[in-house]
Amino acid sequence: MSTLYFKNAIIATEEEVFPGGLVIEGEQVVSLVKGNVDVKADLVEDLNGRFLLPGLVDDHAHFNEPGRTHWEGYLTGSMAAAAGGITTVLEMPLNSTPPTINRAQLLRKRQVVKDQAVIDYAQWGGLVNNNLEDLADLHEDGVVGYKAFMSNSGVDFERIDDDLLYAGLQFSGQVGNVIGLHAENEYVTRFLGEKMRAAGRTDRASWYESRPPESELEAIRRACYWAEVAKGNLHIVHISIAEGMRAVAEAKKRGVRVTAETCPHYLTLDQDDFVRLGPVAKCAPPLRSRQEVDALWECVLAGMVDTIASDHSPCTWEEKAPGLTNIWKGWGGISGIQTMLPVLITEGVHKRGLPLTALARMTSSNPARIFGLYPQKGSLMPGADADFVVVDLNKEWTLAAEDLFYKNKHSPYIGFTFRGKVEQTYVRGKPVYKDGMIVVEPGYGKALRRSAQ
Ligand SMILES: [Zn+2]
């Protein structure tokens, strides 16, 4: 096997940032090199002072395959991910049909997608209201976690009540897996939503007014409580409020095994943006106030956030369009896998002084750890998979719809000017994205399984 030396870079790991290089052999990292020094290798590539980060592990994305492939699919979804510096994606069990809630459906999904992806991937299973006895099979087959909803998901994926939350958490603790939880209070959000619709509200603000911060906070606190009682492993997905992050931090202090995720859109866009943008920026929990965006950044900068994930949740424009005149009728979900890293560099690194070490920790090392893929993924240590991204940290560029690899090219960030551009993405030593193009064949991406922790 030949060796390849990427020299003259600035390396950013979760621990440190330093001028140096990376030596790889075949699919794996051989060593990290400090300083701009010569190393004997079969091939040398000069990165001319570009930044080199561990490839991102996006722990939350919906690719809709099988069943809703016209929404995205593993091929276009993974191409967009690669263009965004993501080298491993953890794909959600819902918004595909049927949802991944038992062994047969997981195996069927794996069969359907096996020749599609250009980056590595693993699957989530689901915890719904009638599949407790399927969790063991799914664990055996290597799902990285179980997604569950406290509030209605809006699709053919049944929400759970506290009985099954308790049981699922207990199971996760026993086998060393994790429950990934959408935390919003079902009864209050439903009540408020019905009230608004009964009053004839169709405006955009009615969407976020029906899902207030308190309905998220109560659910987060309750979930942490049950994780404590059931001795489970809990990962709360897409937290949109600082008070929710603080609730998780307090639970951690009590010894609860809970981790917190947020998403780029909660750190960038606010309610006023939502009123301006409309259905393209509709999601749940909804976008919050500008004060909340700033407060959430404080939590990120204070080290309280475990992972940042895209929650890439695509659909056709036909699903979104009815929301232009009646926000209740537009599909909820933001397409964001390709823009996650540029958003975080622009809004975090440049505007708020987010250290690259923290960025690498939240977008790569931590998700790999929480979902049982570390240190094969999420690391640049010798022996790890050679998954990395080369970034021009200062390059300014403006997103156009035709830049997007999504099957449906809508995004709340079209026309947004970023500072920081993904130039190359490597998966297991091979370039998959380079200078605007995907440079591997579909199917290069490998299926991964959770190693229990
Ligand atoms: Zn999601």
343 CA distance to ligand 1 middle (Å): 18
* pLDDT recorded at residue 390: 98
157 CA distance to ligand 1 middle (Å): 12
Contact present, 284 and 330 (Cβ < 8 Å): no
* pLDDT recorded at residue 80: 98
332 CA distance to ligand 1 middle (Å): 10
166 CA distance to ligand 1 middle (Å): 21
**SS3 label, residue 12:** strand
60 CA distance to ligand 1 middle (Å): 6
Give the E-state strand segments of 270-412 in sequence order.
307-308, 388-398
356 CA distance to ligand 1 middle (Å): 25
312 CA distance to ligand 1 middle (Å): 7
6 CA distance to ligand 1 middle (Å): 35
13 CA distance to ligand 1 middle (Å): 27
Q: In what order do the strands lie in the sheet with 120-123?
A: 56-61, 86-91, 120-123
359 CA distance to ligand 1 middle (Å): 21
3 CA distance to ligand 1 middle (Å): 39
23 CA distance to ligand 1 middle (Å): 36
409 CA distance to ligand 1 middle (Å): 18
62 CA distance to ligand 1 middle (Å): 6
95 CA distance to ligand 1 middle (Å): 9
385 CA distance to ligand 1 middle (Å): 27
* pLDDT recorded at residue 453: 56
322 CA distance to ligand 1 middle (Å): 21
Q: How many CB atoms lie within 10 A of CB 115?
A: 13
311 CA distance to ligand 1 middle (Å): 5
189-196 CB contacts, 8 Å cutoff, 24+ apart: 189/151, 189/152, 189/215, 190/151, 190/152, 193/328
Torsion of CA 362, 392, 421, 3, to 10 degrees: -70
Query: Where are the chain's structural domains?
Result: 3-52+383-438, 55-370
* pLDDT recorded at residue 452: 62
pLDDT, one tens digit per residue, over 32-69 is 999 999 999 999 999 999 999 999 999 999 999 999 99
72 CA distance to ligand 1 middle (Å): 14
28 CA distance to ligand 1 middle (Å): 31
φ and ψ of 64, to 5 deg = 65, 20
- CA distances, 399 to each of 54, 71, 396, 419, 425 (Å): 24, 21, 10, 11, 19
99 CA distance to ligand 1 middle (Å): 13
pTM of the model: 0.98
61 strand-pairing partners:
91, 312
108 CA distance to ligand 1 middle (Å): 21
Which ranges of the chain have pLDDT less than 50? none
The single-letter code of the amino acid at 20 is G
181 CA distance to ligand 1 middle (Å): 10
* pLDDT recorded at residue 66: 94
137 CA distance to ligand 1 middle (Å): 23
Give the E-state strand segments of 197-330 in sequence order.
234-236, 258-262, 307-308
334 CA distance to ligand 1 middle (Å): 9
10 CA distance to ligand 1 middle (Å): 33
Q: Which CATH number is 55-370's, of 3.40.50.880, 3.20.20.140, 3.40.50.10210, 3.20.20.210?
A: 3.20.20.140
293 CA distance to ligand 1 middle (Å): 19
CA angle 190, 191, 197 (to 5 degrees): 85
- CA distances, 62 to each of 167, 316, 406 (Å): 25, 13, 12
313 CA distance to ligand 1 middle (Å): 6
399 CA distance to ligand 1 middle (Å): 23
209 CA distance to ligand 1 middle (Å): 20
Q: Which CATH class is domain 3-52+383-438?
A: mainly beta
333 CA distance to ligand 1 middle (Å): 8
Nearest C-alpha neighbor of 143 from the set 449, 452, 451? 449
Say yes or no: do domains 3-52+383-438 and 55-370 share a fold.
Answer: no
61 CA distance to ligand 1 middle (Å): 6
Q: How far apart are CA 101 and CA 98, in angstroms?
A: 8
